[in-house]
Amino acid sequence: MTLSPPSRIVFIGAGNMARAIISGLLKQGIPANSITACEPSLEKLQDLAELGLDVSTNNVESAAKADLLILAVKPQVMKSVCTPLHAAVQARHPIIMSVAAGLRLEAFERWLGPDLAMVRCMPNTPSLIGKGASGLFANSQVQPAQKQMVEQVMAATGLALWVNSEDELDAVTAVSGSGPAYYFLMMEAMIKAGKALGLSEENAKALTLHTALGAAEMATSSDVSPAELRRRVTSPKGTTEQAVLSFQDHQFEQIVGQAMHACHRRAKELA
């Protein structure tokens, strides 16, 4: 992959999420020496330096050379990290992307100054293994070529989709941001029930996980909707139909809908 225009990508904070994006970028063929990782942990920096990255403990100096500045520290330290970067970003006007949960662009505009091209990204945990699903929102300063560059960067960690309003990122949180936990919960319940039906824990777990993987791969590799795929494996009066009817009797759709609305409300409260 070549990013256009040729650019320096600077990460402020090189923890789990930054590492996920960095490893995706390296896999895509982005030269390691065009990426700067800035971090207080010398141990983390040492690992990244061994991969050929430019590393630093000086956030201001690093931000001053960024074309794309990725803010990947925890939300609670974001203000104290951003405020000292104000002069550097006002001088260079890099594209700024935050991956922090719950922090609105308005806060970054206050800390870093107005008129900057900013993107807010809501990634999820499977980004750590290159199977992420991220929602992206750009403010009005972001130009089409810059959007393309940011999209290329996040696509290195999985699916990357643009939404049209920042509020939609709360819905992204309810679907994909928190979504992995819903599937883990389903897996937990299936493993417990498999054991109750007489399987060993080991077998119940292996069968459950591979079923989840197979179902996800079938659904993502096919043009057919999940509803139709479900109908195709549900023969009238068969075993699957009994399970589906039991789910429906217990208001499965409402349970999922209520859970996602609860998540959405919480995302709004935290923003």
Site residues (vs ligand NAD, CB under 6 A): 12-18, 38-41, 44, 59, 72-75, 77, 81, 99-101, 123-125
CA distance 47 to 66: 21
**74/268 with CB nearer ligand NAD:** 74
**124/194 with CB nearer ligand NAD:** 124
**73/96 with CB nearer ligand NAD:** 73
* Burial class of residue 113 (count of CB atoms within 10 Å of its CB; 0-12, 13-18, 19+): middle
* In the complex, minimum distance from the CB of residue 103 to ligand NAD, in angstroms, rounded to a whole number: 8
**7/124 with CB nearer ligand NAD:** 124
* In the complex, minimum distance from the CB of residue 57 to ligand NAD, in angstroms, rounded to a whole number: 8
> 107 vs 20, 43, 141, CA distance in Å?
25, 31, 16
* In the complex, minimum distance from the CB of residue 112 to ligand NAD, in angstroms, rounded to a whole number: 15
Q: Closest residue (Cβ) to ligand NAD?
A: 15
Q: Token pair for residue 104?
A: 């609105």
* In the complex, minimum distance from the CB of residue 2 to ligand NAD, in angstroms, rounded to a whole number: 26
> 229 vs 95, 220, 224, 236, 237, CA distance in Å?
42, 11, 7, 14, 17
Tallying the residues shown for the chain, one arrives at 271
Residue listed under structure tokens 């206050």: 110
- 118 Cβ neighbours under 8 A, 6+ residues apart: 95, 96, 97, 98, 105, 108, 109, 138, 139, 141, 142
* In the complex, minimum distance from the CB of residue 80 to ligand NAD, in angstroms, rounded to a whole number: 7
Asked if 94 and 67 count as a contact pair (C-beta separation under 8 A), the reply is: yes
CB count, 10 Å around CB of 58? 9
Asked if 123 and 99 count as a contact pair (C-beta separation under 8 A), the reply is: yes
* In the complex, minimum distance from the CB of residue 16 to ligand NAD, in angstroms, rounded to a whole number: 4
